[in-house]
């Protein structure tokens, strides 16, 4: 688990194809790796990756075909900056929100606007994720825990203050850039809970409907 509070910005030093998946070498910048061991997890642009090698100035991790299909990793290029966060420990301050590092889908920056010293970003999420995104709720974008300030269908607005921009890769976000999205894990579990016994059905899931909410006592 992670918090979505970025500890450092790293750089993708090398990307090596390995069959249907890839291996990446990350220069970790100011990230403290003194307590990181082989097998530990580091969120890299919001993707939970397992360290398979420590290189002195960073680490190497493997990305599976599933990860490539679910995330923006398929668009990665050597030299690209990435947000880094080590896994949560029992004595870590939970400054953001609980983040699993399991990306739900890829969003796209569709508008950027300067708003005083801050910047306003509109991001288009995949339609199937729209139901999990709520105004003033939390969402993880490229590993950063952020607050949704407005929604418009599958699009949502973020307002980024200068400090966040300076400590993350946000300044790299331009119209058309693809970003990793992870919705609030509580919304995911709530959906499964509301499904009740129907969660075990083999038939394609239809999601939560108003009728299903009423049937399970969520509406009066």
Q: DSSP letters of 86-104?
A: EPP-TTS---S--B-S---
Tell me the pLDDT of the chain averaged across its residues: 89
Per-residue pLDDT at 207: 52
Query: Which residues are CB-contacts of 48 (< 8 A; sequence separation ≥ 6)?
Result: 2, 41, 42, 87, 100, 101, 102
pLDDT for 73-118, tens place per residue? 888 899 999 999 999 887 777 777 888 889 999 999 999 999 999 9
Per the CB < 8 A criterion, the answer to whether 99 and 86 are in contact is: no
Tens-place pLDDT, residues 138-161 = 999 999 999 999 999 999 999 999
Q: Which domains can be identified in the chain, with CATH numbers?
A: 8-86 (2.40.30.20), 105-184 (2.40.30.20), 185-220 (no CATH)
Cα–Cα distance for residue pair 182/103, rounded to 1 Å:
5
C-alpha to C-alpha distance for 198 and 176, rounded to whole angstroms: 39
Q: Where are the alpha helices (DSSP H) in 59-184?
A: 65-70, 162-167
Confidence of residue 211 (pLDDT cuts 50, 70, 90): low
Confidence of residue 183 (pLDDT cuts 50, 70, 90): very high
Q: How confident is the model at residue 213 (pLDDT cuts 50, 70, 90)?
A: very low
Q: What is the pLDDT of residue 220?
A: 46
pLDDT value for 98: 84
- Strand order across the beta sheet in which 144-147 lies: 144-147, 138-141, 178-183, 105-115, 118-124, 155-160, 150-152
**H helix count then E strand count, the chain:** 4, 13
The angle formed by the CA atoms of residues 111, 67 and 104, to the nearest 5 degrees, is: 50
Tens-digit pLDDT profile for residues 113-131 = 999 999 999 999 999 999 9
| 218 — pLDDT class (breaks 50, 70, 90) | very low
Q: Which of 3-7, 63-67, 119-123, 167-171 has the lowest mean pLDDT?
A: 63-67
């Amino acid at each position: 688990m992670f918090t979505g509070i970025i500890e450092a910005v790293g750089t993708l030093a090398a990307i090596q194809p390995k069959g249907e998946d890839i291996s990446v070498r990350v220069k970790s910048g100011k990230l403290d790796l003194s307590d990181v061991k082989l097998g530990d997890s580091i969120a890299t642009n919001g993707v939970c990756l397992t360290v398979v090698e420590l290189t002195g100035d960073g680490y190497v991790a493997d990305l599976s075909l599933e990860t490539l299909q679910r995330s923006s990793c398929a668009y990665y290029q050597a030299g690209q900056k990435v947000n880094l966060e080590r896994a949560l420990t029992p004595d870590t301050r939970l400054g953001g929100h609980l983040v699993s590092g399991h990306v739900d889908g890829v969003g796209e920056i569709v508008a950027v606007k300067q708003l005083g010293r801050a910047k306003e970003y509109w991001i288009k999420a995949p339609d199937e994720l729209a139901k999990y995104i709520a105004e003033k709720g939390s969402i993880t974008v490229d590993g950063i825990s952020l607050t949704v300030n407005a929604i418009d269908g599958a699009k949502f607005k973020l307002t980024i203050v200068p400090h966040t921009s300076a400590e993350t890769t946000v300044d790299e976000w331009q119209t058309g850039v693809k970003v990793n999205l992870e919705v609030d894990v509580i919304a995911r579990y709530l959906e499964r809970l509301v499904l009740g016994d129907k969660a075990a059905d083999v038939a394609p899931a239809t999601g939560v409907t108003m009728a299903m909410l009423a049937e399970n006592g969520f509406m009066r």
